[in-house]
Structure 1
């Protein structure tokens, strides 16, 4: 019952805010576009190379170091969040190396200093939280509908005889199972704090804004959102994540403050976790 009530509250609130957002969009005068990241091709290639190397490298090193944990029932639940934490740390280090002056001095790449801000428009805490909350609520009905349709399409293809992977993301599967309080708290921190910060800085703050300076804003949204969906490496979540990426780009473009899509992303992940918790309580009822 709690899951049904929660679902309908989110759905109704999201629909109301979606209508309100559409009306405000038509009445509000166009704001100056979010500035592009006008990096040269070498600086961008360095960014991509470091991102892939550190993301895969640190995640891979943690995976190798924890390989023996598979046989240990106590340590096994910790393996997935630790590998995810290694990968996220690789993404964050990439951003620090290329955008923070103290870290840029540690590498030999001698790029000219540029004024670059992930948040050209400054907002107060209440403002970016409000914008992030409204954007997340308005997006949820659309993402849930697309996700359900995408899942139905994949199941239909499975029924036709195609081999389609319908498994959920590893972290979600682990959270849905009883893995212990400490593991669950670690996964919540990863999903609601760490991942939104690193992924928004990388995919919206850097990738989207670089592509925006080379292609049309819509093309930049599509390609950066496609990369965002692909890096999660899960077919079932691919279409909802692609749509989420597009809406995160839109929230960033409208607010011109990276904290808004970070807040949006964190609230979206928190909603997913809350839904899993409520669903597990329903399953536990005899």
Structure 2
């Protein structure tokens, strides 16, 4: 793969830093935007949850069941957090969004081969990661909160949750982890350390969604490392997004089993 021209970095990746090159994201702003995204989910989730409970209390015969209401809260929460976070990213780093170099976010056009490879890796990675998780977990059960919510909801609500889980969530997380965070780390520590560190952070921040099950983190870290590698090698964030979306799409198949 290293000699495959389809995965050669864009020319911007090879240019040295200089007066004409914009600096990448800084430590404070990157940490703040990451914290803001998850804090928004907490705040919006609480607010929408309160509204849902209030409606159920005063109109018990007119609102959907608990499972459907919870899925509605998740959808509204993730959409709200995504809109605000992406708006903040665009406001702060607009000049870097179309930069395919180490300091940029990589919103550049990929090749068809890069997109296809990202899709394939998005399917292969969770299969390999799942085996690793089973090895580490032993007899313990591994589940995610979103999957548990979907299982308790009507099929229509599961379908409504699909685009949020497969498209919206991966887009925001790619912008944050393979955009801001990876750019920050690449410009300071180089590609190898940046890929490893960003993957570790990506896995760890999902611990709450995994119920604190540490043995599921290596699977997510593997996906994070692969997405970061795709971003570095292709010079574009889109192969990483496709990989992430394919990974999530594979996971959602269990909702309809």
State the shift of 1:168 in Å.
0.8
Spell out the pairing of 1:1-286 with structure 2 (5 A cutoff): 24-26=1-3, 28=5, 31=9, 32=11, 33=13, 38-39=23-24, 41=26, 44-67=27-50, 69=53, 74-80=65-71, 82-83=73-74, 85-87=76-78, 89-100=80-91, 115-118=95-98, 120=100, 122-123=108-109, 127-128=111-112, 130-138=113-121, 140-155=123-138, 166-175=141-150, 177-233=151-207, 234=210, 235=213, 236-277=215-256, 280=257
CA distance in 1, matches of 2:162, 2:77: 16
Distance apart, 1:232 and its partner CA: 1.7
In the alignment, structure 1 segments of 5+ residues that lack a partner are: 1-23, 105-112, 159-165, 281-286
Instruction: Figure out how many residues of one structure are paired with residues of the other and give that number.
Output: 230
Structure with higher Rg: it is 1
Q: Is the 8 A contact 2:8 2:234 kept in 1?
A: no
TM-score normalized by the length of structure 1: 0.67
- Contact 1:133 1:267 survives alignment (8 Å): no
Q: CA deviation at 1:143?
A: 3.5
Query: Does structure 2 retain, via aligned residues, the 8 Å contact 1:59–1:84?
Result: no
TM-score (norm 2): 0.73
| Shift, 1:216, TM fit | 2.2
Cα pair 1:80 1:170 within 8 Å, conserved: no
Q: How far has the Cα of 1:213 moved from its partner?
A: 0.7
The more displaced of 224-233 and 207-216 is 224-233
Native 8 Å contact 2:121 2:243 kept in 1: no
* Pair 1:92–1:34, CA change in 2 (3 A): farther
Answer whether contact 2:125 2:223 (CA < 8 A) is retained: no
Which 5+ residue runs of structure 2 have no aligned equivalent?
101-105
CA RMSD of aligned residues (A): 3.2
**Residues 174/83 of structure 1: CA separation in 2 closer, same or farther (3 Å cut):** closer
- Residue 95 of structure 2 aligns to a residue whose secondary structure is coil
- Residues 30 and 185 of structure 1, relative CA distance in 2, 3 Å threshold: closer
